[in-house]
Amino acid sequence: MVAIEELASSRIRLKIANLLSSRPATLSEMSELTGISVQGVLKHLKKVRDEGLLTENNMKSGKYLRQRKLYFMRGRKVADYSEGDLLVASVGMSTDDLVRRVGDVYDELDWLAQDIVILRRRARELSHRMRRVLDEVTEDEARISGLVDGLPLADDEKQIAYLIFTEDTPERARAILKDHYGCRDPEAGLAAVAAKIREGRM
């Protein structure tokens, strides 16, 4: 089973997979979407093909369109709502086996298209919100770094201070001190450094 990490190792490949999950597309479309050459697109498609996810189809000339080679994702579907350096994407199973004709096909397609528009808008909004939250987290972490680095503590005490203020639970901080730093009495170390910072006895 392909993991999102394998596709997400390249943001361009992720964009291509996202497009090909929604509909078949030509090389020129993918080139325009990603801003890279057709040759560059072909290199990314090879990786997707190697994962067994790519379908290729030679569309014959018809009444409206000329002959073209089309590419489409097979077996897995990719949703990509990444923004800047925030990766928001997932790989899901294809639901081809769920396709059932119920009533008027046009009405079904129209309803699904409208639902997708709403869901995509929601996903984008959540992605924007997540980006803002992560920016706040990053700023707070930077402030913690600045404050801890500015404390007149010994290096090992600063490391303990980092663990006090960055780990989710005291239990996790104690386990890290014991397992990774050889601390014989993590509880005492954490308490002593916390008291020093609180009382300003440095």
Q: How confident is the model at residue 121, as a pLDDT?
A: 92
Distance (Å, rounded) from C-alpha 73 to C-alpha 91? 11
How much is the CA Rg of the chain, to the nearest whole Å?
A: 26
The tens-digit pLDDT sequence of the chain (202 residues) is: 455 677 778 899 999 999 998 899 999 999 999 999 999 999 999 988 988 889 999 999 888 888 999 999 887 788 888 888 888 888 876 655 455 555 688 988 888 899 999 998 999 899 999 989 988 998 999 999 999 999 999 999 999 999 999 999 999 999 999 999 999 999 999 999 999 999 875 5
Burial classification of residue 173, based on how many CB atoms lie within 10 Å of its CB (0-12 exposed, 13-18 middle, 19 or more buried): buried
Distance (Å, rounded) from C-alpha 120 to C-alpha 79? 9
Q: Amino acid letter at 150?
A: G
Q: Amino acid letter at 26?
A: T
Q: How confident is the model at residue 22, as a pLDDT?
A: 87
Show the tokens assigned to 58: 């030679």
Q: How many CB atoms lie within 10 A of CB 91?
A: 22
Distance (Å, rounded) from C-alpha 2 to C-alpha 49? 12
What topology does CATH give the domain 4-99? Arc Repressor Mutant, subunit A (1.10.10)
Q: How confident is the model at residue 95, as a pLDDT?
A: 54
Distance (Å, rounded) from C-alpha 201 to C-alpha 193? 10
Evaluate if pTM is beyond 0.85. no
Please enumerate in sequence order all residues whose Cβ is within 8 A of that of 144, keeping only pairs 6 or more positions apart, or say none.
162, 165, 166
Show the tokens assigned to 74: 């097979």
Residue with tokens 């560059």: 40
Distance (Å, rounded) from C-alpha 32 to C-alpha 37? 8
Q: Which long-range contacts (CB under 8 A, 24 or more apart) does 36-39 make?
A: 36/12
Please report, for the chain, the start and end positions of each structural domain, with discontinuous segments joined by +: 4-99, 109-146, 151-199
